[in-house]
Structure 1
Amino acid sequence: MAISRREVLMRVGTVGGAGAALAAMQMLGLSMPSAASAADFALPKASGNGRSVVILGAGIAGLVSAYELQQAGYQVTVLEARDRVGGRAWTIRGNDPLIQIDRPAQRANFSEGLYFNAGPARIPSWHHAILGYARRFNVPMETFVNSHMATGWDFGGKVRPGRQMVNDMQGRIAELLAKAIDQNALNAAMPKEELGQFRQFLRFYGGLNEKGVLVAQPSSGYSEWPGGYTQAGKALDPLTIREMLPNRGAAFPQIFQAIIDMQPTMLQPVGGMDRISYGIYEQVKPSVRLNTPVNAIRRVGDRVRIEHAGGVTEADFAIVTLPANILERVPNDFSPAKKAALKKVNILRSAKVAFESPRFWEADGVYGGLAWTDKLNENVLYPSSGHHSARGVIVGAYVAGWTHDNTPDAFVKLPIADQIRVSRESIEALHPGKSQLLESPLAVNWGQVPYSEGVGALWGGGLGDEGPRGSEYTELLKPEGPIVFAGEHLSYLGLWQEGSALSAQHALKLVQSMASERAGKAAAA
């Protein structure tokens, strides 16, 4: 019986949760890629004709909007509540303060040149819009090592090399298929001559012997590493499927790199993720007002009136890039449908914990990449730059529901001291005896970061859901008279800077259309 793609996703999601379903979606071709032309977006020159636009928020969506409008001849004002730009693309350095709602204040204590990307950690190579702005404003990029087979996977209380977990799983799957062929179980599924060819492929693909049995392979690593003279080395004995999948959390890392957003080569700006934001900011700096939270959003005829700290700004149009959960609480003149839709947006409240340390992981052959665990911290991220320097910043927790849907809620309920403890203990399990070297801990709980209160929107089935968004999403795409909306939550690339940039480009087209319509009416009059 044929099985639909929807049924496949439902079965994968049942076993592996939202994270596994996300990966399956990408492998089944359900991703919506951005067009390369997004890197060359531009409104018609001088099309703004001096009309005014007020932009709420100086994150990626707001900054992109400001730059493109300014290039087209609009008068632009950007209102930002924080004392910095970039929004959730936030890099913490040196002695930066960390203030969170209902949490004790923290302060970074990183050595000069070191930094912690508290928000986005990486950029896929096919995210053409955000990379286009980096290129345009000469923001240097470097490789982000997203997958490194030398990192440890800590599941079911046992730490094993990622290379062993991945390659032995490949071998066991090949072994099962070879057994099915040998027992004539696939005769109805494939012509005889193809079965023979496939059987040969499985042997080389999975590391099988002539009988179709998985044997120890160097690709999975060594218990005794090869060396000089007579030191031949001894490959690790193959793991069983039970050992590789002791719980549901261990399934997702097996397919993580298959996700289109996680495939190499991935990139990061040299010196911190906020470099792109500041590259755009430098182009529009005189138009940006920091420390200016919005108090109300009003319509005055066919114009807008924004009440904010320090006064009032009126304009012909507004582009609102505030997160839905923040915008919902700002007094406004929106329609009942818009207000109701804003209340329905589900927000992911992720968390990260970072330490400064001597680079002990490099002695274990780890140069970048992610370690995985079924502990509450979920991920350990190793720095992808500065190799062989004295010190680095290691991310001891990156909690987003990778291995279990309820992990973020469970982790962020912990006191900051316990979040740091869990992260430290996880690194100790991966690198015994080295946790004592971890210094200057810093814990960011995005659900309690002012003016964000989360890292992004979760639509429909949750993380990575690319199915129909429903009536609330459709409602939020609609302008409110001269007010249009943008942000990662209004894209099919949610939780990514690319989604913010592409959403802004669509919002700009709406503004341009309305401005042209007004110009036409004025000319006719």
Structure 2
Amino acid sequence: MFLGMEALGLAVATPAGAEDFELPGQSGQGRSVVVLGGGIAGLVSAYELRRAGYHVTVLEARDRIGGRVWTVRGGDRIRQIGRPDQLASFDPGLYFNAGAARIPTSHRLILDYARRFGVPLEVFVNSNRGAGWDFGGRVVRDRQMVFDMQGRVGELLAKAIDSHALDQEMPKGELELFRQFLAPYASLNSQGRYTPDGRSGFTVEPGAYAQAGQPRPPMTLKELLPASLAQGPFGSPAFPFLFETIFDMQAPMLQPVGGMDRIAHAIYQQVKPAVRLKTPVTAIRRTPRGVRIELGSRPPVDADYCVCTLPAHLLARIPSDFSPAKKAALQGIDYLPSVKVAFESPRFWERDEQLYGGLAWTDRLNENVLYPSSGFNSAKGVLIAAYVAGWTNPGNPQQFAALSHEERLRISRGSVEALHPGKSRLLSKGVTVGWGLTRWSEGVGAIGKDFDAAGRSPRYAELLKPEGPIVFAGEHLSYVGLWQEGAALSAHEAMKIVQSMAAERSGKARAA
């Protein structure tokens, strides 16, 4: 739903100046804050609070920081609920971004943290005209799908203009200008017919001496619009046509050099003494002076304030002193159970097909194949052979997530074989991460009508409210859901509330 609203232009950009956030210097005055969760929202909160003079303790249930920003390298163990562990065995220097995959250049806040802590960035190739679309058992190049569609739509518009069907829609002068524009835009001949000029590809590429290029014959609208498009524009084969037009998916996109978790680790280095790993929360309680976080058999943590960044559906299971309204709001929130599959492989896609980054699309269960955007022309790379999020069918994440590791790997191999015949034999060291089965996450982000980008429900308004000295943050409490940016932005808002509470408490103390 959120991706759909984005494609309709209803997504919200990061507010200008968000990267200039800073709490008043030493305003914390030694007051204590316990931060629940060591993902992006928790790390950002800890960094900014410590900078302002608060005493901070971060409690993270995992044995790593980053939350849903997770880069898997050789030697890392992948644990999934109810499944056998996997041990990644990628060669040194290779990695798999199992969670967050890319950063839009419009996400100025997370990019500012990268800049602040010296995290080098490189371009993430989010679109590649040479990549394949595998729909209905037929593989066609991205460029032919996109530009043949553009040509056919332009051809229809030209026909409508030439038959005077649009005379009442535009003044004559504007209509004439628009008709002239359509010729180069849609590659139309003098009769208004779509005539490929090479942008959609060649059957014979231009070469030396007498080798003139031969553009590919155009596809028909019937071929470009399979019957399955009747499902709707999102969660269907129409989505690849729109993907790179989404505000948060427009080129250029970026990634940290060496793995998506580099930004999280850079922030972690600033707050490391305050972070306690392998420390799951067992209860959240109020006290006369603030909060008490219970940790099972371990001593509890007391603090003046709490910034809770735990996913809403997991928070709902933790005993707490929250109000009935808050407890009700936390119930029944769905999280997207996105799944990825990755293999190590010689870079046949670069050597044989000149594919440097980008995405292939398919109507198979694996939905996406992502070619690495780093290490070009090196010997090996990590090919993401499945990125299942409901791009081409809204039921795919649940269906793919229910499969065994072996079945996911098999389906993904088959997809690579369809796109690159004879090459699936080169894939090795396959691993898969299903976020619905990843402990302490159980999904990649909140979804559903309560988090509609066009307007939020009363449930969302309740989730935003503090519970006394307890405030909340996370990607789900932003209009930039499913992104690191949303997590960081929500952390800033939560800290403003903490600062306001602290200032009010100081005022009351002085008055007394």
Q: How does 1:405-420 map to 2 (within 5 A)?
A: 405-420=394-409
What is the CA deviation profile of residues 331-387 of structure 1, one whole-angstrom value per residue up to 9, with x for unaligned ones? Answer: 111111111111132211100000000000012010000000011100000000100
- TM-score normalised by length of structure 2: 0.97
Determine which of 37, 59, 73 is the counterpart of 1:93.
73
Q: Which residue in the other structure is 2:5 paired with? A: 22
- 1:284 equivalent to 2:271? Answer yes
What is the CA deviation profile of residues 467-500 of structure 1, one whole-angstrom value per residue up to 9, with x for unaligned ones? Answer: 2211111001000000000000000000000000
Q: Which residue in the other structure is 1:311 paired with? A: 299
SS in structure 2 of the partner of residue 385 of structure 1: coil
Q: How does 1:326-345 map to 2 (within 5 A)?
A: 326-345=314-333
Structure-2 separation of matches of 1:158 and 1:301: 66
2:2·2:453 contact (CA, 8 Å) conserved in 1? no
Structure-1 separation of matches of 2:67 and 2:123: 23
Q: Which residue in the other structure is 1:148 paired with? A: 128
Q: Which residue in the other structure is 1:179 paired with? A: 159
> 1:281 is aligned with what amino acid?
Y
Structure-2 separation of matches of 1:167 and 1:19: 27
Q: Which residue in the other structure is 1:271 paired with? A: 258
Moved more, 321-330 or 499-508: 321-330
- 1:233 equivalent to 2:222? Answer no
SS in structure 2 of the partner of residue 185 of structure 1: coil
> 2:203 is aligned with what amino acid?
S
Measured after TM superposition, the shift of residue 22 of structure 1 is 3.2
Q: Residues 43 and 461 from structure 1, CA distance in 2 versus in 1: closer, same or farther, beyond 3 angstroms?
A: closer
Identity %: 61
Structure-2 separation of matches of 1:135 and 1:185: 54
Structure-1 separation of matches of 2:198 and 2:17: 43
1:20·1:252 contact (CA, 8 Å) conserved in 2? no
What is the CA deviation profile of residues 228-260 of structure 1, one whole-angstrom value per residue up to 9, with x for unaligned ones? Answer: 222112110111112112132221110111100
Determine which of 451, 454, 459 is the counterpart of 2:440.
451
Structure-2 separation of matches of 1:479 and 1:344: 20
Q: Which residue in the other structure is 1:385 paired with? A: 374
Measured after TM superposition, the shift of residue 24 of structure 1 is 3.6
Structure-1 separation of matches of 2:4 and 2:505: 46
Q: How does 1:114-129 map to 2 (within 5 A)?
A: 114-129=94-109
Structure-2 separation of matches of 1:109 and 1:389: 18
- 1:441 equivalent to 2:441? Answer no
SS in structure 2 of the partner of residue 214 of structure 1: coil
Structure-2 separation of matches of 1:22 and 1:36: 21
Measured after TM superposition, the shift of residue 19 of structure 1 is 7.7
SS in structure 2 of the partner of residue 48 of structure 1: coil
Measured after TM superposition, the shift of residue 127 of structure 1 is 0.3
Structure-2 separation of matches of 1:135 and 1:242: 48
Determine which of 92, 104, 119 is the counterpart of 1:139.
119
- 1:396 equivalent to 2:396? Answer no
Q: Which runs of 4+ in 1 moved over 4 A?
A: none
Q: Which residue in the other structure is 1:257 paired with? A: 244
Measured after TM superposition, the shift of residue 302 of structure 1 is 3.8
Q: Which residue in the other structure is 2:232 paired with? A: none
- 1:371 equivalent to 2:351? Answer no
Q: Which residue in the other structure is 1:206 paired with? A: 186
Structure-2 separation of matches of 1:245 and 1:301: 64
1:19·1:403 contact (CA, 8 Å) conserved in 2? no
Q: Which residue in the other structure is 2:91 paired with? A: 111
> 2:463 is aligned with what amino acid?
L
Determine which of 15, 40, 50 is the counterpart of 2:30.
50
Structure-2 separation of matches of 1:103 and 1:234: 52
Structure-2 separation of matches of 1:315 and 1:44: 20
Structure-2 separation of matches of 1:365 and 1:313: 55
1:153·1:373 contact (CA, 8 Å) conserved in 2? yes
Moved more, 246-255 or 433-442: 246-255
2:450·2:457 contact (CA, 8 Å) conserved in 1? no
What is the CA deviation profile of residues 48-87 of structure 1, one whole-angstrom value per residue up to 9, with x for unaligned ones? Answer: 0110000000000000000000000000000000111000
Structure-2 separation of matches of 1:53 and 1:406: 41
Determine which of 473, 476, 481 is the counterpart of 2:460.
473
Structure-1 separation of matches of 2:2 and 2:462: 27
Give the alignment's Cα RMSD to 1 decimal.
Answer: 1.1
- 1:217 equivalent to 2:197? Answer yes
2:368·2:386 contact (CA, 8 Å) conserved in 1? yes
SS in structure 2 of the partner of residue 142 of structure 1: strand
> 1:115 is aligned with what amino acid?
Y
1:59·1:89 contact (CA, 8 Å) conserved in 2? yes
> 1:60 is aligned with what amino acid?
I
Q: Which residue in the other structure is 1:73 paired with? A: 53
Measured after TM superposition, the shift of residue 20 of structure 1 is 7.3
Unaligned segments of structure 2, at least 5 residues: 230-235
Q: Residues 488 and 125 from structure 1, CA distance in 2 versus in 1: closer, same or farther, beyond 3 angstroms?
A: same
Q: Which residue in the other structure is 2:139 paired with? A: 159
Q: Which residue in the other structure is 1:63 paired with? A: 43
Structure-2 separation of matches of 1:22 and 1:38: 23
Q: Which residue in the other structure is 1:296 paired with? A: 283
1:357·1:393 contact (CA, 8 Å) conserved in 2? yes
Structure-1 separation of matches of 2:201 and 2:354: 12
